[in-house]
Structure 1
Amino acid sequence: MMALALREMETTYGRSPGGYIWLVLEPVLGITLLTFVFSLAFRAPALGSEFAPFYASGVVPFLLYTDVSIKVAASLTFSQQLLAYPSVTYMDAIFARMLVNVFSQLLVAYVVFTGILLIYDTQGAIDLLRIIQSFCMVIALSFGVGVINCFLRLRFPIWATIWAILNRPMFLISCIFFLFETVPQPYQDFLWYNPLIHVVGEMRAGFYSNYDAPYVSQLYVYGLSLGLAVIGLILLRRFHRELLER
Structure 2
Amino acid sequence: MTAPTTLPANKILIDSATPRRRRFASFRTITALVLREMATSYGRSPGGYLWAVLEPVAGIALLSAVFALLFRAPALGINFPLFYATGMIPFVTFSSVSAKLAQAINFSKPLLAYPSVTFLDAILARFILNMLTEIMVAYLVFTGILLIFETRVLIDLPIIAEALLLAGALALGVGTLNCFLFTRFPIWQQAWSILMRPMFIISCVFMIYNNLPEFLRGWLWYNPLVHIVGLMRRGFYSSYDAPYVSQGYVLGFSAVCLVLGLIFLRRYQYELLHN
Say yes or no: TM over 0.5. yes
Q: CA deviation at 1:207?
A: 0.8
Pair 1:192-2:221 in alignment? yes
1:35 to 33, 46, 64: 64
Matched with 2:3 is: none
Pair 1:128-2:157 in alignment? yes
**Does the 8 A contact of 2:112 with 2:273 survive in 1?**
no
Q: CA deviation at 1:39?
A: 3.3
Q: CA deviation at 1:120?
A: 2.3
Question: Cα deviation per residue 1:152-191 (whole Å; 9 max; x = unaligned)?
Answer: 1122111111111111111111111111111112111101
Pair 1:212-2:250 in alignment? no
Structure 2 Cα separation of the partners of residues 110 and 86 of structure 1: 38
| Structure-2-length-normalised TM-score | 0.85
Q: CA deviation at 1:80?
A: 0.2
**Does the 8 A contact of 2:71 with 2:80 survive in 1?**
no
Structure 1 Cα separation of the partners of residues 55 and 211 of structure 2: 28
In the comparison of the two structures, how many residue pairs are matched? 246
Pair 1:174-2:200 in alignment? no
1:114 partner letter: T
2:225 partner letter: L
**Does the 8 A contact of 2:172 with 2:254 survive in 1?**
yes
Pair 1:150-2:179 in alignment? yes
Alpha-carbon RMSD across the aligned residues, in angstroms, is 1.4
**Does the 8 A contact of 1:27 with 1:60 survive in 2?**
no
Pair 1:62-2:91 in alignment? yes
Question: Cα deviation per residue 1:21-75 (whole Å; 9 max; x = unaligned)?
Answer: 4333444343334334333333311111111111111111111111110111110
Matched with 2:14 is: none
1:115 to 144, 150, 175: 144
**Does the 8 A contact of 1:23 with 1:108 survive in 2?**
no
1:215 partner letter: Y
* Percent of residue pairs bearing the same amino acid type: 57
Matched with 2:118 is: 89
Structure 2 Cα separation of the partners of residues 23 and 170 of structure 1: 23
Structure 2 Cα separation of the partners of residues 180 and 162 of structure 1: 27
Q: CA deviation at 1:136?
A: 1.1
> Which one is further off, 10-19 or 167-176?
10-19
1:88 partner letter: V
Question: Cα deviation per residue 1:55-102 (whole Å; 9 max; x = unaligned)?
Answer: 111111111111110111110110000011111111111111111111
2:176 partner letter: V
Matched with 1:17 is: 46
Give 5+ residue unaligned stretches, structure 1: none
Q: CA deviation at 1:126?
A: 0.6
Give 5+ residue unaligned stretches, structure 2: 1-29
Matched with 1:230 is: 259
Pair 1:44-2:68 in alignment? no
The alpha-carbon distance between structure 1 residues 85 and 42, as it changes in their structure 2 partners (threshold 3 A), is closer
Pair 1:240-2:269 in alignment? yes
**Does the 8 A contact of 2:87 with 2:229 survive in 1?**
yes
Q: CA deviation at 1:118?
A: 1.6
Pair 1:201-2:230 in alignment? yes
| Structure-1-length-normalised TM-score | 0.95
Matched with 1:103 is: 132
1:7 to 36, 39, 50: 36
Matched with 1:164 is: 193
The alpha-carbon distance between structure 1 residues 117 and 41, as it changes in their structure 2 partners (threshold 3 A), is closer
